[in-house]
Amino acid sequence: MDSIAEFLKQFGALGLFVHSMIDAIFFPIPAFFTQVSLSMIDPQAALQLATVGFIGCLLGTPVGYGIGRLSGKVLLHKFLKKKWVDSATAMFGKNGEAAVMIGAFTPIPFKVFTILSGGLNFPLWKLMVYAAIGRAAKFYIVGSLFYMYGRAAEGMVKQVSMYVFLIAVPVLLIGLFVKRKLANRAKAKGAAGGKATVAAQASHSEEA
């Protein structure tokens, strides 16, 4: 796998595109490493590389999802570490949207989340939306650092990614929690309104 990753680097942006695509499908080495290596070579092209990687990831995401629909967890347990699969499954059990968002930042390979989404029948459109937000943040944070600070950004990338994870993930979780609470409250009001209407209609019928 290391040899394949090194081979892809030789093709520059095209190699990053392919790596990002297969990263969302089956390849165990994250495209992050190819992005960093290529950005080190040409920091001025870092944002273009981020865009290429982002597009490749989005194109690979529905393919990983389709594999999940066909094979489910069997393929994951066969080719990936059990701890990755178990952690991602636990995240999906609590909140699928949060799992995808967190998965975009964690060291757990992203294909675990794309395949699990298919295996657990998580809506594809939701996977695409939350994957786009999370992966865009990851690719463009790295790209922006190299574009602004050049090769000196190599030492910053991991630290900044960690800080973004520590700040962004709690904010996202709070946002999803508030969204769910508001949805439940609206549903409860709707149900209460429906019962009141039924009661009024029954009362009117009795009077008639």
Position 190 scores a pLDDT of: 65
Position 165 scores a pLDDT of: 61
- Of 126, 134, 72, the closest CA to residue 108 belongs to 134
Q: What is the pLDDT of residues 69-103, one digit of tens each?
A: 887 666 666 666 677 677 767 767 667 777 777 77
Position 54 scores a pLDDT of: 95
What percent of the chain clears pLDDT 70, i.e. is strictly above it?
A: 70
Asked if residues 150 and 43 have their Cβ atoms less than 8 Å apart, the reply is yes
Position 43 scores a pLDDT of: 93
Position 33 scores a pLDDT of: 87
Position 55 scores a pLDDT of: 95
The list of the chain residues with pLDDT below 50 reads 198
Q: Return the exposure string of 75-94: e unless at least 16 CB atoms fall within 10 Å of the residue's CB, then b.
A: bbeeebeeebbebbbebbee
CA atoms within 13 A on the CB side of 73: 10
Asked if residues 135 and 57 have their Cβ atoms less than 8 Å apart, the reply is yes
List the alpha helices (DSSP H) in 42-153. Answer: 46-71, 73-79, 82-94, 96-103, 111-119, 124-149
